[in-house]
Structure 1
Amino acid sequence: MISLTRLNGEAFTFNALYIEQIQSNPDTTITTTQGRKFVVREEEELVIKRIRQFYREVGLLRVIDRAGEDN
């Protein structure tokens, strides 16, 4: 889970596994795999940094980094 802030200042946690797309236009908008959209205060780069950290914590980043090593 990653911590984010809605535009109204409300903090919430988000399961980063459900993020399909992140856009900055200019507000950062996160689209989930279910098509829901969340607009957050954090800049896109910070959201991506938090997602990578989350993936490291749950061990997914190592799996992604190793994909294709045996090919």
Structure 2
Amino acid sequence: MIKVTKLNGKSFRINSLFIEVVEAFPDTTITLTNGRKYVVKESEEEVSKLIKEFYKSVGLLGGRMVEEQNHEE
């Protein structure tokens, strides 16, 4: 899950596995696979970075295995 902020300043976590589209209208809008939309303060680039970091942390982008190998050496 990634932590994002609503326009009113309240933060919340969203399951990035269900994110289908991230767009700027100019506010960043996250659309989930079920059609639900969330408008957040973070930029489109920030959301993409958070998603990539999450995927790496759960081993979906391969970054975790490289980190584990480095720790073993």
Task: Give the TM-score taking structure 2 as reference length.
Answer: 0.83
Q: Which runs of 5+ in 1 are unaligned?
A: 63-71
Mapped partners of 2:15, 2:61: distance in 1: 15
The letter for the 2-side match of 1:17 is: L
Look up the SS of the partner of 1:48 in the other structure: helix
Mapped partners of 1:3, 1:37: distance in 2: 15
Task: Give the TM-score taking structure 1 as reference length.
Answer: 0.85
Two-structure CA RMSD over aligned residues (Å): 0.5
* Count of matched residue positions in the alignment of Structure 1 and Structure 2: 62
Mapped partners of 1:13, 1:23: distance in 2: 18
Mapped partners of 1:15, 1:27: distance in 2: 20
Once the two structures are aligned, what percentage of the paired residues are identical? 56
Q: Which runs of 5+ in 2 are unaligned?
A: 63-73
